[in-house]
Amino acid sequence: MEADIAVNSDNKETWSGGGAKPFGASYGKMMMWFFILSDALTFSGFLAAYGLTRFKFIDSWPIADEVFTHVPFFHGNYPMYYVAFMTFVLIVSSVTMVLAVDAGHKMQQKKVALYMFVTIIFGLIFVGSQAWEWKTFIKGSYGAVKTSDNKILQFVKADAKGNFHQVSLASFVDGHRVDGREQHSKKNGLWFEGEKTISQYSVTQVQQAFKNDPSLQIRSEQINLDTKQKVILSRDKSEEQLEKASQVVEGANLHVNEYGNPIFADFFFFITGFHGFHVFSGIVLNIIIFFNVILGTYEKRGHYEMVEKVGLYWHFVDLVWVFVFTFFYLV
Amino acid sequence: MGAHAESNKRIWIVLGILTVITAVEVGLGIAKPDSLHLNGFGTSWLNWIFIILTLAKAYYIAWAFMHLEGEKKWFRRSLVWTAVFLISYLLFIVLFEGGYLYETLAPLIKW
């Protein structure tokens, strides 16, 4: 056998390149880098697809800082503050990871454990925030109406200065749903079929309420490319468009999206979800390594290179987020 | 020990840089000054600023945190050049296609 293969396979070290270190990088570290490279290309593919779709719908794409305006425990309009906080959390967790790797080089077991622990906590804060962000996005903020030709109509009112502000359905539609339509559940319908949550109001109810309040106008999905603002329809045009309403939309999911084009929501769920899954696996890896550190595995091994390798992965998660943050929330 | 104190100091400096860049990005993203938002070459100046600042952040994360600056030159290049070349190519071809789709399909949409 030995004649056929370059490295002796009887040697237990074979899988790690027989201890060979091309470019001074160990097998494990080099492979982590190549994995990161391939994963970076995957994420670029997703973001490029997002870019293509956005260019395709450049005159009607949702404006991100009108979509992500919520901060937990605060009411009001705070575009981007919360994502900025999340970005900061991830950067700080990268720093604690660097400190863990650094302590590993100095063979300070307790310090490595401490910094790993802090990194895990920051990671959990980040995924928790991401979950909250999803929940808020799915729930929606104002509610809108979808027309039979698949356009989203949002409701706005002008303030004293003539600036338009979006208003929620609940602020101008009175009371509860009046058309007698009920949520289909196992109790009142076919036991083997369920139904997604139906909207709070019926289409006719919204149309009626709109007619009763002349101060309301409709904001279309269309963007005026000169001002980069959504086009506000005149009262007449608004009524005309609202006639075509076919569905009341509250929140966002993979089929409808009260903020505009549903594919925006699809990309949001897919890209931030894929990233969130990376953060989650990073946390799992960190926890495993954390316990190894506590158990003294790397003290016995004589080096803390495993901490360095999961550290690379963890920094990569941060690196990807920097791009997701820019292309989803800023640009 | 001296070298370690040095590297720790660098980590805090990089944290400071990344925090300032993020703060600037968020500040500009909220303020969206018309002069930067509504003018530009290809895309708005604001977008160019965001993209350049993002690449700067990516540089600091990869070079300082992931310690690429300490790796052998050609190992670093095998990673960075591969990514930069393939991603630029993909973006070039895909974003142009997106623009073409818009030009072709937008006239068919009735608002």
**How many angstroms separate the Cα of A157 from the Cα of each of A63, A214, A223?**
18, 10, 18
Residues A189 and A148 in one domain: yes
Question: Can you say how many angstroms the Cα of residue A119 is from the centroid of all Cα atoms in its chain?
Answer: 20
Q: How many domains does chain A contain in total?
A: 2
**Could you list the residue range(s) of the whole structural domain that residue A55 is in?**
27-140+264-330
- ipTM rounded to 2 decimals: 0.94
Domain assignment present for residue A15? The answer is no
In angstroms, the separation between the Cα of residue A2 and the nearest Cα of chain B is: 30
Residues A58 and A129 in one domain: yes
pLDDT of residue A73: 84
Low-confidence ranges of chain B (pLDDT < 70): 1-5
Mean of the per-residue pLDDT values of chain B: 92
pLDDT of residue B1: 41
With contact defined as beta carbons under 8 Å apart, do A129 and A178 qualify?
no
Domain assignment present for residue A5? The answer is no
The CATH number assigned to the domain holding A84 equals 1.20.120.80
Residues A35 and A174 in one domain: no
Query: pLDDT tens for residues A229-246?
Result: 999 999 999 999 999 999
Residues A85 and A187 in one domain: no
**How many angstroms separate the Cα of A191 from the Cα of each of A183, A196, B34?**
13, 14, 57
> Using CB atoms within 10 A of its CB, is residue B1 exposed (0-12), middle (13-18) or buried (19+)?
exposed
Low-confidence ranges of chain A (pLDDT < 70): 1-18
Q: What is the DSSP string of A221-256?
A: EEEETTTTEEEEPPHHHHHHHHTTEEEEE-SB-SS-
Last residue of a domain, one of A228, A250, A272: A250
Residues A127 and A48 in one domain: yes
Q: Which residue reads 């949702």 in tokens?
A: A62
pLDDT of residue A282: 98
3-state secondary structure of A270: helix
pLDDT of residue B3: 56
In angstroms, the separation between the Cα of residue B82 and the nearest Cα of chain A is: 8
Contact criterion met (CB < 8 Å) for B29 and A57? no
Residues A165 and A206 in one domain: yes
Domain assignment present for residue A7? The answer is no
Domain assignment present for residue A289? The answer is yes
The answer to whether residue B56 neighbours chain A at the CB level (below 8 Å) is: no
The answer to whether residue B88 neighbours chain A at the CB level (below 8 Å) is: no
Domain assignment present for residue A101? The answer is yes
Residues A236 and A280 in one domain: no
Domain assignment present for residue A255? The answer is no
pLDDT of residue A246: 93
- Can you give the C-alpha Rg of chain A in angstroms? 26
With contact defined as beta carbons under 8 Å apart, do B26 and A81 qualify?
yes
Residues A88 and A128 in one domain: yes
Domain assignment present for residue A257? The answer is no
Residues A174 and A93 in one domain: no
